[in-house]
Structure 1
Amino acid sequence: MTSSSGIRQCIRDVSPYLLFLIAISTLGPLQFGFHLAELNAPQDVISCRVRQQSVSRFSTALSFISSSSDKDQPTVSSALPDCVPMDDAQFAVVSSMFTLGGLVGALGSGPIASTKGRLVAMKLTSLFYIIGSVIETLGVSIAMLAVGRVLSGVGAGAATVIVPIYISEVAPPRERGTFGAMTQVSINVGILVTQTMGYFLSYGSAWRWILGAGIIISATHGFGLFLVPESPAWLAANKSATHARRILQRIRGRNYDISEETSTWGDSALTPEEEGLLNDPSDNPRRGSTSSKTSAKNNGHLGFMEVVRDPLYRPALIAAVGVMCAQQLCGINSIIMYSVSLLRDLLPINSALLTIIISAINLITTVACSPLPDKLGRKTCLLLSIFGQGASALVLALSILFETKILSAITVLFFVAFFAVGLGPVPFILASELVGQEAVGATQSCCLGANYIATFLVAQFFPIINVALNERFGGAGWVYFIFTALAVLCGLFVLWRVPETKGKKDADEVWGRTRRLD
């Protein structure tokens, strides 16, 4: 009975217009997933390790199309080479350049989103995506591919900061956990799309169509953002509360009561001059000072260093950054970015096909688990996810070491599925729940910056450490013992330092404090 009433309430809360806004805004994180995994399947072809892969996996029709395109190959190859010669270290650099750009985008987008608005920042992400995708598609050298990856990474880093904030500000309060998971769902859609394309287009110069698809997605994203309004919460805090109410009413639907959501927005929009006249400091100097300080905090313009130095925000910052790092250090991108090369000689089925299956399971489990943070709690989902991934990493290491191929394949699927329970969606929504609106931009930037540093470490050093350990100890799979140990450390961190935010109306309630007005 409770479950059915909850579903009915969710249907009443969600308007078609809200679904449209979510669909357009999440094209940003979708491209993050797309670019993150775009080099995985065609790695051997792009790096000239395999000049022409077999196309026996295609149907007769696709084989005919492939052979027809091969006839025209001299025309294509005269403009663009079929591949760019790279060894493992050079390919790792090209792959990891994406995370370097992501770090820049993550750190720079928070201040822009706070001062100029969420919509302006999202439009900038689509511009970086378009330019980066074009350069990648036309890449003829390692440097050119790396530059394209950096620019695409800037867009991705910014998108993964801004979009979760935007979604949390337009989603109904009761469904913020569910809609917050849409960031991770869209990332998984992007991964699945690019892995599927890679399965069919990893031959000759066809891999350029994979990268070229990024241009189409980013252009669609950029156009769609011209139909999306600014965040009502940002407008209410920075410009016009009246305009913000009109937009929120349109998002919620004509008959939806928004009074509870807007109760703290003020009664009207005031210009800075009007606010100065109303808050005359000569009337009460102490009150004027307090009003100014409160206004600065409510307007969401706290900078990165202000948040870091303020002991009020430090526990939240540590918790959010730690969870973001845990998302990567438990090893998910060792599968997402390198599964084809890692599993090529280990498993009894085609590794590229297994990668598609992995991506599909990741998407399905993320969608299926999206209500869990609202039902079980954020912290519970994180601990379940970390425990599951740690156990899976241990079993995967042993199964690869002892060449138990079927068990290895099954364990990889469990490894990805457990990621979707908590480590996938929860980190993206946690920052906006641990701090107030005045600090969420800077906090989210810091969190995603840490996330991209952790992603860079995995992307750059996983293949190197994997090869080194295999040569040192013999066999394969030793690197997953490291991920097992990291999962234990991450679990202890979450247990001790991360509070539960489920059911808490604001950051003050999360941390059990009373906001002082003087």
Structure 2
Amino acid sequence: MASGLRQFVHDVSPYLVLLIVISTLGSLQFGYHLAELNAPQDVITCQKKSISTRIAALFSSLSSGDAHTPDTADCIPMDNAAFAVVSSTFTIGGLVGALGAGPISSARGRLLAMRLTSVLFVIGSLVETVARSVPVMSIGRLLSGAGAGASTVIVPLYISEIAPPKERGFFGVMTQISINVGILATQTLGYFLSYGSAWRWILGTGVVIGGAQGLGLSLVPESPAWLAANKSVSRAKRTLQRIRGKDYDIEEEVASWGSDVVIPEEEGLLDGAADADVNPTTTRRGSTAGSATKGGRKSGHHGFLQVVRDPDTRPAIVAVIGIMFAQQLCGINSIIMYSVSLLADLLPISSALLTIVISAINLIVTVSCSPLPDKLGRKTCLLLSIAGQGTSALCLALSIIFGIKILSAVTVLFFVAAFAVGLGPVPFMMASELVGQEAVGATQSWCLAANYIATFLVAQFFPIINAALNERFGRAGWVYFVFAALAVCSGLFVSWKVPETKGKKDADEVWGRTRRLD
């Protein structure tokens, strides 16, 4: 363990840590905006002024409105169906952002794509903050969702390309950790600011975070792997050396570019030839150089549909779509997005306070389990997580039906902890491990498109199905039998269709195929 810690300290420079912190502000905002309407739902929709009269009394002097009587100047009248539309609009924007992020980040670079997401977050958050109608709020959620969708494509990709090879599994978890930080932050603010018009400060905080991300990105360099594939290896080497530190030997890492993304015109630079930048017109993919090969296989940027048609990448697309659907259909967002209204009056403590505890446990378990994908393997973590969530869903259904409040509270915590073991962090890192560099952008887009479609299904239809089942059977909890059944299906899919990527050096080794010589 001591030697592993020494290796980690040697590989990780302070500058790399700074880059990880700045880049993950994008994924942090995904979690922030995903859960921002949970705690203040009843206040925003004019159903009541405060989820905690004690908090309302404490802060009433700061609010311009009456802290106890509904005032449509402070809220936006909407029923459950309208609120579901506002919530799910975020996922539609996320789908658009996820689909657009892959081509933009592949053609124009990861850095430009991240800068665009910060602009979307600032504008979207500002529109949400000033909204006084359902359509305007939905537009803000759409823009924020587009930024979030793009971020969850770009951030894991950027991190995988700047992290040291031996620590990629660990740093890959940083995406999910930052998402959990965002969820915890917004749930905590929601507990204290869910009264009067103070809920608008929750949404306005997104403007501040987006602005901080935009400023921080001025310190962030382009991905060395993208530079090697699209600009020049000499510039990529200088950037990588800056990230790793001046005393770090980058030659082994640079050599991997030769078989993965580096094109023939620049291979001489890897051997210490000219250190000047090469003319981009002779090195950009899509030109004559775009026919470079990886072990004899044609390279170049694969398009969104091309990765589906290619028999080498199609199994990876099926795998990433499946695990992203599993991530959502096992039920995590029924807790993250609707826990305050879902668990109200079912638990022995305030559902809003329990939501903060849930978010904190999600973060703590995710951080604690961050070494597991590298130790146990990605697939093992996924299966453990699915089994834990399926079991928790079954127990939660029974505990709610039979009115065992303490068991319901404990089961919710286990439900979230099981998610953090595998389904939370692993899907975001696997998309870049199942395919070669030429298909990473398109695969990440498929990955996150599936994620947002599945999230939309949960956000839009969970309240409807839950209400229908409650009415049919006369009590709450039955919807979690559905999630338990979906967990069984997810476990079978992962067992049959998802390969292990731990310890595999490239996609060919992951899928056990011989490189094709064309």
TM-score (norm: length of structure 1): 0.93
CA deviations over 1:86-124 (Å, ceiling 9, x no partner) = 100100000000000000000011000000000010001
**Number of the residue aligned with 1:156:** 148
The alpha-carbon distance between structure 1 residues 438 and 291, as it changes in their structure 2 partners (threshold 3 A), is closer
Structure 2: 5+ residue stretches without partners: 270-276
Residues 297, 516 of structure 2: 8 Å contact kept: no
Shift of 1:267: 3.2
Q: Distance in 2 between matches of 1:303 and 1:412?
A: 41
**1:310 counterpart letter in structure 2:** D
Does 2:220 align with 1:228? yes
> Which residue of the other structure, out of 20, 23, 33, is the alignment partner of 1:22?
20
User: How has the CA–CA distance of structure 1 residues 163 and 295 changed in structure 2, closer, same or farther, with 3 Å as cutoff?
Assistant: farther
* RMSD between superposed Cα atoms in Å: 2.1
Instruction: Give the direction of change, closer, same or farther, for the CA distance of 1:204–1:439 in structure 2 (3 Å limit).
Output: same
Runs of 4+ in 1 over 6 A off after TM superposition: 292-296
SS in 1 for 2:431: helix
Q: Shift in Å at residue 297 of structure 1?
A: 5.0
Q: Which residue of 2 aligns with 1:43?
A: 41
Read off the aligned partner of 1:328 and give its amino acid letter: Q
Note closer, same or farther for the CA distance 1:256–1:396 as it changes in structure 2 (3 Å cut). Answer: same
CA distance in 2, matches of 1:404, 1:25: 43
Show structure 1 runs of 5+ residues with no match. Answer: 281-287
1:96 alignment partner AA: S
- Residue pairs, 1:210-249, within 5 angstroms: 210-249=202-241
What is the Cα deviation at residue 227 of structure 1?
1.0
Equivalent position amino acid for 2:42 in 1: D
Question: What is aligned with 2:136?
Answer: 144
Paired with 1:513 and 1:413, the residues of 2 have a C-alpha distance of 42
Q: How does 1:290-329 map to 2 (within 5 A)?
A: 291=292, 298-299=299-300, 301-329=301-329
Distance 2:454 2:144 in 1: 18
Residue equivalent to 1:9: 7
Q: Give the distance between the partners of 1:47 and 1:441, measured in 2 at CA.
A: 39
CA distance in 2, matches of 1:104, 1:274: 32
- Give the 5 Å matches for 1:365-514: 365-514=365-514
**Aligned partners of 2:515 and 2:295: how far apart in 1?**
11
Q: Which deviations, in whole Å up to 9, do the C-alpha atoms of 1:412-449 show, x marking residues without a partner?
A: 00000000000000000001000000000000001100
Rate the CA distance shift 1:472–1:275 in 2: closer, same or farther, 3 A. Answer: closer
Q: Equivalents in 1 of 2:283, 2:223: separation in Å?
A: 22
1:81 aligns with 2:73: yes
User: Shift of residue 296 of structure 1?
Assistant: 9.9
Question: 1:7 Cα deviation (Å)?
Answer: 1.5
CA distance in structure 2 between the aligned counterparts of 1:397 and 1:244, rounded to whole angstroms: 53
Indicate whether 1:31 and 2:38 are aligned: no
- Partner of 1:439, secondary structure, is helix
The percentage of counterpart residues that share the same residue type is: 70
1:271 corresponds in structure 2 to 279
Q: Distance in 2 between matches of 1:197 and 1:293?
A: 50
Counterpart secondary structure, 1:260: helix
Per the TM alignment, residue 51 of structure 1 is displaced from its structure 2 partner at its CA by 3.0
Q: Deviations for 1:309-338, whole angstroms, at most 9, x for unmatched residues?
A: 111111111111111111001000000000
Counterpart of 1:68? 61
For residues 94 and 239 of structure 2, what CA distance do their matches in structure 1 show? 31
DSSP-derived class of the 2:137 partner: helix
State the alpha-carbon separation in 2 of the partners of residues 5 and 386 from structure 1: 33
1:151-196 CA distance string (max 9 Å, x none)? 0000000000000000000000001010000000000000000000
Counterpart Cα distance in 2 of 1:437 and 1:124: 22
Aligned to 1:135: 127
Q: Distance in 2 between matches of 1:19 and 1:13?
A: 11
Deviations 1:122-160 (A, max 9, x none): 001011101100000000000010000000000000000
Aligned residues: 497
Structure 1 pair 275–341 and aligned structure 2 pair: CA distance change class (3 A): closer
1:124 match: 116
